[in-house]
Structure formats: structure tokens, C-alpha cells
Amino acid sequence: MGDVKKSLKDIGSFMKLPGANLFITKTADLFNWANKSSLWPLSFGLACCAIEMMATFSSRYDLDRLGMITRASPRQADLMIVAGTVTVKMGERIKTLYDQMTGPKWVIAAGSCAISGDHYRHVYSVVPGVDWIIPVDVYVPGCPPTPEAFIDGIMELQNIISNGKSNPTFNSVDSERPNINDIKVKKKEILFNENFIDGHSLINKCKEIKSEGYDYINFITATDFEDSLVLTYLFTKNNNNEKVEINVKLDSSNKIDSITQIYPGAEWQEREVFDMFGIKFENHPKLERILMPDDWVGYPLLKDYKMEQAKLPYRPSREDYESWKTKL
């Protein structure tokens, strides 16, 4: 240690010089201050939350005043704001972008989808929280979060950085997280109980509906009520937009006649229902998978579909997610 008293005296003399300013701090604090005052976020968004993020960056809220300038290249960005639903397909791209960002780098998970998958948590194509892939520093709840919430999250990150406490947060270990296949699905009663017809009369009923002028088929969809599958058909009259709906409760064979001969537009809709629910449409001209690969195992929208059984790259297993993370 030098002569502290002398040093302070020298500083005192120095401060008397016109226009002189002296600032004493630790370099770590200086760097933290510089980092938190110049967060450069990567310019990208994933879903509806990104619209709210754009509003936050616009002139009304003006994030420039916090030293934030969005960057189009991950090489120049040190903050990733994950705003929107993270699909499995995008998950790998997000991880790549994160890897390409300059360090030190931070991540804000904005909105319930990015935090936990939200409504889509159990959907086969959605990652149940971006922290399954990359470490997250701050979580901003909301669906979507308001611009004020975004700013609050950013300021929270700034505080963490200023205090030198910006250790990235990693996912909790497996034992703390319930196995996704053990979560009981709430059983719902059938909400509609009218317009049901017998499956054997479907073709005749569709012919009758078409002869009445319902020349457009809006959709065919199915619902898994666990004890049975229910098919729903909706038809419209093009001239006055009048609609009619019919429902068919299937027996355990899960087979029904195809209506493509009457409504050609049903062709791909029946394929989609087959792909997701495994319902066999007899006499369909080409009943093949339409969204999933031909060798896909199981039908993703059935309640008893096992989340972990499907194949890469569409539904990685928990272990696959973990292996991505260890590569970071």
C-alpha cells in the first residue's frame, strides 16, 4: 500500500483544477456498469409476445434511453429476449443463435410460452420452456407481458448485472420436475350433445346436406373423450353463410366412411384427422400421414399419446434437450 493520506491529498489538489473530475471505482463495477448500460438485444421474435416487444422498442416506450440498440446479427448482440412460443423446430435455431452471440450474454424469457410452454406445454411440437435449451437470467410473466413488464424485466436484468450477480439460471434437475406422462389430464364432459348421427348414416346424411345447398366443408376435426372419439363436421352454404354441424361418436374400431366422394375438399382434412387421431376413413383415396413422417409412432392428439416415445427431430426426449444444453 502506498501513502494513502498523500494520495488523498493529491486527489484533493487535482479536484481543484478547473474542469477536473475524478471517479474512483473497481474495474469490475466499471465493466458491470458498462455492460448494463449498453445491452444490445438480438432482433428476433417468435410469436405474439414479440409484437408486444416491438411496441416496447417503439418511440412511446423508447428503449434507446436504456442504451439498448437491437442488432440484426447475433455476433453483435449480448442479450436475447425470447418472446413467444418456442417450437421444437425453432429450439435448435435458438440454441445456435445463442451460441453465436458475443459474451458475456444474457437471456430474458418473456411471456408464459417462453417460460413454460404455457397453453402449449403438452403439445408435441412445443418446448416446455426455453430454459430447457439455454440458460435464462430473468423471467417476465404475462400472456403477453405489457411493455411496462418488459421494461421491468430489463431493469431487473440491469440490476443483476450491476450487482455482479448475473449468473445464468439453469434448469432444475429431473427429480424436481414431475414426469410429463404422470400428469393426469383433467377429464371433461362432452360439452355438446346435439347434432349426433349414427356413423352408418354418415354418407346419406352428407348427401342430404349437400343437396340442401351446403356446398362447402369448413372442417373435419376430432375430440378424444377417452371413452370414445367424436368426429365433428361443419358445412356452409356459400350463398348465405348458413352453417350446419354434425357429430359422430365412433366405436372402438375407430373406422368411418370417407366423404371425399361427396366433398372432395375433405380429402386432406380426413388425412389430417387420421394423422393426429388414427381414425381410419374407409374408401379414402390416399389415407397417408400428412403432417408427421410416414414412420411416426402413435397419434399425437390422442390423450394416451406418450410424449417421450416419438422420434427426432420433431419431439426430442428430455435427454436430447439435456444433451443440447451441455454442449453450450
- Residues interacting with ligand SF4, by CB under 6 A? 47-49, 84-85, 111-113, 118, 143-144
- 34: cell is 458498462
Instruction: Pick between residue 138 and residue 266 the one whose CB is nearest to ligand SF4.
Output: 138
Instruction: Pick between residue 141 and residue 285 the one whose CB is nearest to ligand SF4.
Output: 141
Instruction: Pick between residue 85 and residue 269 the one whose CB is nearest to ligand SF4.
Output: 85
- 101: cell is 452471440
Smallest distance, Å, CB 28 to ligand SF4?
36
Nearest CA to 74 out of 95, 57, 48, 55 is that of: 95
CA distance 99 to 40: 16
Distance of CA 317 to the CA centre of its chain: 17
Length of the chain: 328
Smallest distance, Å, CB 78 to ligand SF4?
23
Instruction: Pick between residue 48 and residue 197 the one whose CB is nearest to ligand SF4.
Output: 48
Smallest distance, Å, CB 85 to ligand SF4?
5
What are residue 232's phi and psi, to 5 degrees?
-125, 130
Buried b / exposed e over 178-205, threshold 16 CB at 10 Å, is eeeeeeeeeeeeeeeeeeeeebeebbeb
CA distance 247 to 306: 27
CA distance 51 to 57: 10
Smallest distance, Å, CB 154 to ligand SF4?
17
30: CB partners within 8 A, 6+ apart: none
- In this structure, the number of other CB atoms found within 10 A of the CB of residue 67 comes to 14
Instruction: Pick between residue 118 and residue 215 the one whose CB is nearest to ligand SF4.
Output: 118
Smallest distance, Å, CB 298 to ligand SF4?
26
Instruction: Pick between residue 35 and residue 112 the one whose CB is nearest to ligand SF4.
Output: 112
Instruction: Pick between residue 45 and residue 67 the one whose CB is nearest to ligand SF4.
Output: 45
Q: What angle do CA 276, 279, 283 make, to 5 degrees?
A: 125
218: CB partners within 8 A, 6+ apart: 234, 235, 236, 243
Instruction: Pick between residue 112 and residue 260 the one whose CB is nearest to ligand SF4.
Output: 112
CA distance 87 to 208: 42
Smallest distance, Å, CB 143 to ligand SF4?
3
Smallest distance, Å, CB 2 to ligand SF4?
57
Smallest distance, Å, CB 89 to ligand SF4?
15
